[in-house]
Each structure stands twice: as structure tokens, then as C-alpha cells.
Chains A and B, each alone.
Chain A
Amino acid sequence: MLKQNYINNIIKISSIFLFLLQFSCAQHKEREHIVVASAGKIESLDPAQANTLRTLQILSALGDTLYKLNKEGNLSPNLASGLPIASKDGLIIDIPLKENISFHDGSIFNAQAMKFSLDRFMKIGTLNYLLNDKIEAIEVKDEFLLRIKLKKPSSSLKSLLTSVNLTPISPNSYSNYKDKFNNKSFIGTGPYLLENFSSNQQIIKPFKNYWGKKPLNKGIDFINYSNSSTLFGAIKAKEVDVLISNSIDDMQRLTLNNMVKNKKLNSGEGEPIEIGYITFKSNKLPLGNKTIREALSYTLDRELISQQVSFGTREPLRSIVPPQLHKKELFPWPKYDPNFARSLLKKEGYCEADILTIPLTFRSNVPADKLLALTWKDQIKRDLSDCIKITLNGIESTTVYKQLSEGAFEAVILDWTGAYPDPEAYLNPLLSCNEIKNNTCLKGEAVFSGSFWGNNEVQELLDKSEELEGEIRLKNLIKVEQLAAKGSAYLPVWLVNPKAWSLRDISQPEFSRDGLIILKNLKRD
């Protein structure tokens, strides 16, 4: 009897406590802000240090860029008042700036502030090599006119000016951070200002004196979870309003897409900016043999792989530049054709007595890479087991990146997201080479990408494209890509679209051309 009373008392006390928990203020407070969740922590809000998509996402709401890309993919002024004006020799670029724009701290945005921000980026920015290779000096020509002096003509610089990394910061607030990072605050000109920052949560609210279109919501709470399952569960449990697709497993993407079909969620999709590809080491046999690399480019059944790995959510890709940047249909890499692959391999003496063995490396901490490796291996076993055998090797990504330039991998699965939406941002990092000998790159980006593939014509065209503009430049870059396809040192596999899902009472997420959600357009119905 005594025991029973004791147990009853415990149950009563626990119930009261749980009741209090359920009705605690936090639980029942009507959410004013929109909660946006993504994977991983944000350690720094300094645009000079930002290099992850999640950091760029929040910076895009706190800051503005000089230019934006419109729906047609053309440059349109944002903080600039007009398009960049280049001198005849292409070595000087003048950028007129908008007036009456203020930073979050009340100071005025002008050419001096822009120069301060660009100089600081060139000095301490982790990606400063993107500018330092091109820019000689930055000058203030007038209070609202900025002049950029270039080392050599560079048409790609204009696209670079759309980069969130180059968002202006207030010289007043960053006077103590000229040569060091300011991780925990951000003072820019953007539609939102930072209210609170921690690595797991960032709170932003609308900036009342914003010069442009005002946000449609009362603020955004960013929340960062460490894994896909928690993110997935959080939107299912309605703990978050919007879920950004980075690091969401393909299986969970499929479920979320089904929820959209069943009208339980909204979703928005941006243009693809991430490509998945396989790099072949071209400076050593057997893959040093171009015909063998060419044969391999016919062995990949992209449709099957897309279905098996991602249930069709990753679009098959036969170019190393996202298709929208070509501005027309273009497929430089060949379709799946195992018979033609066999005939090429037979020419090289394989398929009868000798079987070509390809050690394929994948990043063990990237689930999609592992599935791709396994699927391709099985597909080869099914279609070309008399000619090719694939052996698999999983290595953690940090180690893979370190050993790429050391030529440690015959074939390796990788991905790439261009720093800005321009074909050059995809072609240069994979193909450019400063020193070429016998079609082998000895020094340059092709070494860092692990292919060691060098081609003088490609390099000439890449250099020339920096001096060209518009349609001619694009044609030039397309030719580069076609030459790369002939060289077969890379094998494009798929495209990954940035995607976001939102609860039904939140508007459909919209994306900018650089794959970031336009946060100020999110609203609660």
C-alpha cells in the first residue's frame, strides 16, 4: 500500500513537470520569425573567411553585392548604379556606385568603403587568390566611383563581382579588423541586420533603413543541425519552417519530394551549381592512354546511376559546366555505349586475355559517392566484365584533397561548385595549367584536380577568353569544354540542384542564380 502511494506520488509529480514543460512559454509562443535549418555549424560571419554555402547563405541576407545576375544570366547593378565601364585596353574598370545607402551602423556606403572591403579581402581573405591574380590596385576615383586596375584584361572579374564574399563592410565597424577576421558580427548594407550569433544559431531581423526592397518577413532564425536525420525530423515535426538541401540524404530528399507531391510541404529549386564527376589520372598508364580514358567515358550509364543512387533527384550530366551556363543545349561527353567502349578497349589489347583493372577512389564520408562507386562497379560487372574490373577504395575527404595533387588516385569521384555562376569558374579550376609537357600538366590547376591533363590549345583558349566578352567568349569556352571532352581526363556524372522545402504556411522558397535562397522573399501566410 505504502509502495503504491509512493509510485502514485512519483507519477503525479512527473505529470505536473511534463505539463509545465509542454506549456512553457517557448513552446507556445507564436513564431514571428521564420526558422531556416541547414547542416553544419557557422564558425565565422566574416565575408573574407566564408567558404561554405551555409555561411554565404546568411551573408547574402546581411550584405549586398555590387552586381547580381538576372534571370537571363546577365550582370545587373545592385550596389553599383551602372554596369562596369572597361577601358579600351581592358586594364581599367570603373564602377559607379549608388548613393544614399547606409550600413547597419549608420555610416555611409561609398567608394572608400568598397575599396576598404576589397583591399581587406585581398589582404586576409581565404579565397583572396581569386582577386590577387587579377587585380593590380583599387582606387577611389570619386566619392561614388570605384576604379579597379587589372594586371591583365579579365572578363571573368565581372562575374566575380557578384560574389557574396565581396560584400561591402563598414570601415567604421571593422577598423579594428583590418587584418584579422571578425567572426561574430557583421555590419553590411543588406536587408537584414544581425541580432544574435552563435555557431549553432543565428538570428537576423529586417534593417529598417534598407535602401532596396524590404523583407516580407519579420526576421529569420537560422538553426544548424549536425546531421541529415535531425534536419529531416525537424521539418516533419514542424520545428523548423524551411529546410535547405545541403547534406540531406537522397532517401530523405525523395521522402520530402513526395511530401511536396502530397501537398504537405512547399519546395523551391535553384539552378544547378554543383557538378559530380570522376577524375582520371592522365600522366601514368593505364589511364595515361587516351583511348582507354575515352573507352571509360562510354561505360557510365548515368540514367541508371541517377535512379539507383538518388532516385532520379540528381540529373545526369554530360558536360563539366552546368547546362544553364551554356545558354544552349550542349553535350560534349558521349552517351552510354558499352559496345563502343568494348571495341576501343579491344584495340588496346584488352577484353580477350587481359582485363583492365581500375582502382576507383571515393570519399568515404560522402554517402552519394560511395553509392555511385558501388553502382558503377556493378554496372561494369554486368555489361563489361570481360574487359574492365573496378576495385573500390574509400578514403576520408580531407585526405583525398591532400593527396590529389600528389597523383595518388587513378580514378577518383569528386564534386565542384563554381565560386560564381560563369563557365570559367568550372573550366579553369579543372583544366588550366601553367606548365605543360607532352600533354601532361606539371604546374597548375589540373595538378590540384588530380588529372594532370594539360593541353596547350585549351590553355590558349582559356587565356584568350579573359580578353573576350559576350557570345564570342562563350563560344570560346564551349570549345575548351569540347577539347576537354576529347581529352577524357574527366567524366561528368551528375548535377545537384540546390533545393529547399518549406511548411505549407510559408511561401515557396526562391533561389538566386548563385544557388542561394532569397530570404527576404520568404513570408508566412
Chain B
Amino acid sequence: MATKKELFKYTLSRLALLPIMLWIISSLVFILLRIAPGDPVDAILGTRANEFARESLRMKLGLDKPLINQYLEYINHLLHGNLGISLNTQEPVKVIISRALPASMELAIFAILIASLVGYLIGFLGAVKPEGKIDFLGRLFGIGTYALPPFWAAMLIQIIFAVLLGWLPIGGRLPPGLSPPPPFTGFLLLDSLLNNKIEIFFSSFKHLILPSLTLGILLSGIFSRSLRLNLEEVLKKDYIEAAKSRGINETRLLVRHALPNTLLPILTITGLTVSSLIGGALLIEITFSWPGIALGLQEAINQRDYAVVQGIVVVISSLVVVISVVVDIAIAYIDPRVSY
């Protein structure tokens, strides 16, 4: 195992890189947004506003200042933890993110749980009896879900379970007429329990099922394929043969000897998936009208709401970097061969 000291040094170096990475990302976003055609003033006023109205708004939003001043102001605010004010709604960006991020995270957590449960189970069963029926169907499932366009799968699931069968709601996070409980964590399920609102808990859970199931099933294909391939590889190793020759039974062989050795790539893939989902699953959020961070980011880009786009990108990037550091540390603990 990598020594604790080495691991500590590695963690520190990764964390030290965090501000530099964030600076690069935030500067890139700042520049790219200004280069991109389109203007927040147009998005707010429409194209018909006269020059005076446009200039007044430009001044009010601080867009009349030289670009370098805007940049320095933005970085200064960022250093003080201030993500700015939305150009469109004049609402603090922090508030917008704190509303949308938990929705995306709630969806991501459930999707990952479903993907892990379904994907790893199928992959495991396939590897246990290679070339068997389960293995064949599992491979088909893996390739199928991997190849399915997310929006198409989402719409199909909507039509079947919401429109035709009417079992589950078609979209949104809560049914019409039901107000969310006062936000404490932002996670609707948790907040409704904390506020003892069982009705809201069940309703929000129902709304979560279709999007998380769709996303989970779409992701499970990658999980099942990767576990299946890694397990197959491991099962060919000499130490497995040696264990077999010692008479260890098959279940023990798989669970105690083979499976732990497949964890490294599995953990990496899971980590990467979690990281990508932190930024939201755009197509799923759009299709199910899920008010998450990806939908918010898309709307902010359309409206050229610089402050909101910059804020969301910085927060997502920070979370992705933190998650990758956590995954790296976990891998170092699990795998003694990893050195830094």
C-alpha cells in the first residue's frame, strides 16, 4: 500500500491544483462566453429596444465596463465566494445553484444506485456462467442500453409508464398543487421527511422513479459490460487457478478472490460516472422537465446569462475535481500497487 505520507502528499498536491484548475476553467468560461455571439441585453430586452434602453441596461448590468475590468471584478468576487447576480432575474447565482444542484444530485444518486444494482448484477451473473443464457442476454442488454439515444429511451418510457399505463407522473418534481416543504437540504425526499410531510415524500418519490430509472438503466449497460470483462480477465489469472486447485468452492472463489480484484476499474468507472452526473443529465432533465442544474445551465446559456453560466460551471468543476480526488484516494487504499 502506498504509505500514508505519500498518500497525504498526493492528496495535498491534488487539492493545491484545485484553485489553479478553477482559475483556468473560470477564465476560459469568461472568455468563451464573451466570444460567443449573442448578448444578454438582447436576451432581456429583445432586439427591438432602442439604443438608450440598451445602453442603460448595459450600464446597470456592468457590461459597459472594459472587459479586463469585468474579468478582474469577476475573479475578485469569486475569491470572496461571491458567484454574482443573475443578469436575467437579478437573483444571486448561489441561490439559483442551491435550488437546482440538489435536484440533479438526487436524480444522480438514485440513477447510480439503480445502475449499480442492475448493471453489476447482470455483469456478475454473466461472468459466473460465460456464454450462458444470462451472459448472452446481459451482453445484449449492455450493448442495447449503451447504444440507445437517451432522449428516445426517455420518451419511450414516458409514453409507456405515464401516458399509456398511467402508473407514474410524466415529469416535474412534484404534482401540480403541491408546494415543496421549506428547503433544508434541497433534497426533496429528505426535506419532506424532515418536515414530516409523508404525502410530499411519496409524491416526490413517484416523480423520481421514471427519470432515475431511465438514467439508471442507460448507465447500467456500461457497468455490466465493465464488470463482466474485468471479471472474465481476473478469472483467467494464475492465482484463481491456484485457488481452484486448492478446492475452494466457486462462490467463495468469485466473491472473496475474484471480485475484489475487479474493484479498481469498477470504482474508476463509477467515479467518472458520478462526476459526469454532477453536471446533470441534460437530455433526461429536459425530457422529464426535471429542474436540475443541467437544465438551468442550458437556459442560462440560451439567455447569455454570463453570471449564472460562470457560477454553475465553477461549482460543477469544483465538485468534479473533489470527487476525482476522493476516488483516487479510495483507489490508493484499495490497491496496494498504486504508487504516487
Contacts and interface: CB of A to CB of B under 8 A. Distances in A.
Interface in A396-440: 396, 398-399, 401-405, 429
A237 B173 contact: no
Interface stretch (A83-91, A94-102, A121-129): A121-129
A418 B51 CA distance: 20
A525 B42 CA distance: 44
B176 A35 contact: yes
Interface in B204-228: 205-206
Nearest to B173: A200
B25 to A, nearest CB: 23
Contact of B49 (A22, A129, A226, A240): A129
Q: What is the predominant secondary structure among interface residues of chain B facing chain A?
A: loop
Contact of A240 (B167, B176, B304): B176
Interface stretch (B71-79, B234-242, B267-275, B285-293): B285-293
Interface stretch (A23-31, A333-341, A485-493, A511-519): A23-31
A313 interface: no
Contacts of B52: 129, 132
Interface in A204-251: 221, 223-227, 229-230, 233-234, 236-240
Interface string A358-371: 00000001000000
A183 interface: yes
A284 B97 CA distance: 46
Size bracket of the B interface: 35 or more
B11 interface: no
A15 to B, nearest CB: 13
A21 interface: yes
Given A20-B202, A402-B39, A226 B286 contact: yes
A233 B38 contact: no
A225 B289 contact: yes
B43 A127 contact: no
A200 B170 CA distance: 14
Nearest to A240: B176
Interface string B9-22: 00000000000000
Contacts of A240: 176
A133 interface: yes
A24 to B, nearest CB: 4
B88 A43 contact: yes
A382 to B, nearest CB: 32
Nearest to A416: B48
A240 B38 CA distance: 35
B48 A227 contact: no
A203 B47 contact: no
A180 interface: yes
A112 interface: no
Contact of A402 (B37, B44, B155, B202): B37
B84 interface: no
A230 B163 contact: no
A456 interface: no
A399 B171 contact: no
B334 interface: no
B42 A229 contact: no
Nearest to B100: A199
Contact of B47 (A196, A226, A448): A448
Contacts of A445: 48
Nearest to A200: B291
A237 B206 contact: no
A44 B89 contact: yes
Contacts of B174: 201
Interface in B28-79: 36-39, 42-50, 52-53, 57
Interface stretch (B125-133, B177-185, B250-258, B319-327): B177-185
Interface in B151-177: 155, 158-159, 162-163, 166-167, 169-177
Contact of A403 (B37, B89, B167, B289): B37
Contact of A233 (B48, B89, B170, B177): B170
B182 to A, nearest CB: 12
Contact of B206 (A24, A233, A236): A24
A199 B291 contact: yes
Interface in A351-383: 365
B163 to A, nearest CB: 5
Interface in B291-314: 291, 295, 299, 302-304
A181 interface: yes
A198 interface: yes
A237 B48 CA distance: 40
A51 interface: yes
B249 interface: no
21 contacts: A21-B206, A26-B199, A27-B175, A41-B299, A126-B45, A126-B57, A127-B45, A128-B53, A201-B179, A223-B172, A224-B289, A226-B295, A230-B289, A234-B170, A236-B163, A399-B38, A401-B47, A402-B37, A402-B42, A445-B48, A448-B47
Given A18-B167, A200-B173, A396-B38, 19 more contacts: A25-B202, A43-B88, A128-B53, A129-B50, A129-B53, A198-B180, A200-B172, A203-B179, A223-B176, A226-B286, A233-B158, A233-B171, A234-B170, A237-B162, A237-B170, A239-B175, A398-B303, A401-B47, A449-B47
Interface of B: 36-39, 42-50, 52-53, 57, 88-91, 155, 158-159, 162-163, 166-167, 169-180, 199-200, 202-203, 205-206, 285-289, 291, 295, 299, 302-304
